[in-house]
Amino acid sequence: MKLENITLSETTFISIINSYKQAGEAEQALKTFYRIQDFGGKETVKIYNHLLDALLCENKFTMINPIYINMKKEGIEPNVFTYNILLKALCKNDRVNAACKLLDEMSRKGCSPDGVSYTTIVSSLCKVGKVREARELVIGFGFAPVVPVYNCLIYGVCREGDVDEAIVLLDEMVSRGIQPDVITYTTVLNALCEVGDVELSLAVLARVFVRGCEPNVHSYTCLMNGFFLKGNVYEALHVWDQMVKEGCWPNVVAYNALMHGLTSNGYFHMALSIFDEMGRNGCLPNVTSFSTIIDGFAKNGDLEGATETWNTMITGGCRPNVVVFTCMVDVLCRSTMFNQAHCLIENMVVEDCLPNTVTFNILIKGLCSVGRVDWAVKVFDEMGRYACVPNVTSYNELLDGLYKEGNFREAFGLVKEMEDRRIDLNLVTYNTVIHGICNDGLVEEALQHLAKMVVKGIQPDVITFNNIIHAYCKQGKVKSAVEIMGRMESMDTRGCYPDIITYTNLIFGICEWVSLDEAMVLIFKMLKLGVFPDVAIWTILVRALYSKMDLRGQIQIFDYISRKG
């Protein structure tokens, strides 16, 4: 074109720059830009905008600012598109405050920000947790905010768990004459379902239909997830049927949500049939689909089913990720195939898929459950080779194994290591420690740990107290055990009331060290509170009766058990 003296227009240069952009060659686009004058062309604001956009797409932030400075030196006035590109560049580079200053600069120079400008800023403010600032920005708009701006803001407040504010914003949109779209409603639906308010989410879905806005597959999937979380399987399946009936064909995300929900609620065989149905409906399963099914097989102890699914995934060209590998490690551990599980972890490195802490935790737990604590310790120590840092769960699993085999010295050393590494001991840690030392009869030391956890703000639960009560009863200190139960009853804490195990331990202690009559008093107290004795308690009472050689009492208790079924 140059040789034939054909003038290269602005459009020509823009086409070339965009071609380089699509090819991921932003630096070549920059070289072309510097040769514009060689071809008799002239830099324009449009050419600058397309060049800046090409650099932005490849995150070449260090090149963007010099281009912008050069643009101003040449006297080319930036327009709203230029500013929007710069705003995106600043926000992508985590410089939200600088982006807000640039927004002010736009207004001062007579270039009014548009919906894209505000959407970029509001979205970025919400992502860094500055939802209040984003809200103030929306309130101060010189014009009615566009739907994407509200969508970003609603997403921000939902992300912080403020669903009530999301509903307020939804109503505000309608009052300002701004029609919410399917993204708006789906964001609110998802937030409501995550906090378990499925009833209100149904009301929001009704508003979607009333306002003539068609819900999409994501809307239905959110609602289905909400029902599954509450254990309402029938309602979740009804949502699925309604989705298909409305002509909204499920995608792989919807199928995965359905299979995960069914598996989590004990309907694995139904999830398995859905997995088979996916292929027939032309929806290819992805790595998440396979991991859900393999995990289901693992929980059901079906090594053969998990292996077949694994082989299907590999032969189908679906590359496993760390989640699928971890599920396979789990199923192998449940089948006590620890050598194979360990080899699979080593194979992960070969497949360029590094194991994570969860992977190792599963292997450590499996080894400890069968008394292979020595091996578990070695696995724990080798986590660093794979750039994995043990977390509180890693320590808890190992502590449990050490206490079960009576290795208190190493267990106490592990607790000290946790404290040195500033890994916060959680409720499970304290319960594990208390259980271990109670089994060794060190009740007073267990009480010291109980005091420590309370001081640290960790609320003991029924397991904590049951361990101490059991230890006291074994030692014949029934009065102390009763006092502990009284402490439980006086605590204003949900989930910390005496349960059937509490009463079983106490009745055993009373029968063993006090009298049968006192045990019966506790039985009547249980019945009055609506806690009914199980077979373990009746067995303790029967044994106590036999030891007392009270034949009449034996007949009475057997008669009572028979009548109660």
Q: What is the mean pLDDT of residues 203-209?
A: 87
Could you tell me the domains of the chain? 144-249 (1.25.40.10), 250-355 (1.25.40.10)
pTM confidence score: 0.78
How confident is residue 469, by pLDDT bands cut at 50, 70 and 90?
very high
Is residue 62 scored above 90 in pLDDT? no
DSSP assigned state of 492: -
pLDDT tens by residue, 496-511: 788 999 999 999 999 9
Q: Is the pLDDT of residue 531 over 90?
A: no
Cα separation, 272 vs 296, in Å, equals 9
- Which of 90-94, 103-107, 248-252, 377-381 has the lowest average pLDDT? 103-107
Distance CA 161, CA 97 (A): 24
pLDDT at 429: 94
Instruction: Provide the pLDDT for residue 552.
Output: 62
**Residue 17's pLDDT band (boundaries 50, 70, 90)?**
very high
Q: What is the rounded CA–CA span in Å between residue 457 and residue 340?
A: 42
Instruction: State residue 555's pLDDT score.
Output: 65
pLDDT at 492 over 60: no
- What's the sign of the alpha-carbon dihedral 180, 184, 186, 188? negative
CA distance 394 to 386: 15
% of the chain surpassing 70 pLDDT: 95
Question: pLDDT of 394-423, one tens digit each?
Answer: 999 999 999 988 888 899 899 999 989 999
Per-residue pLDDT, averaged over 321-331, amounts to: 94
pLDDT at 550 over 60: no
d(CA 546, CA 498): 28
> What is the predicted pLDDT for the residue at 4?
84
Residue with the two structure tokens 């036999």: 546
CA distance 190 to 205: 11
Helices (H), 351-490: 357-369, 373-381, 392-404, 408-420, 427-439, 443-455, 462-474, 478-490
Find the length of the chain.
565
- Per the CB < 8 A criterion, the answer to whether 447 and 431 are in contact is no
Between 139 and 441, the more confident residue is: 441
Flag whether pLDDT at 457 surpasses 60. Answer: yes
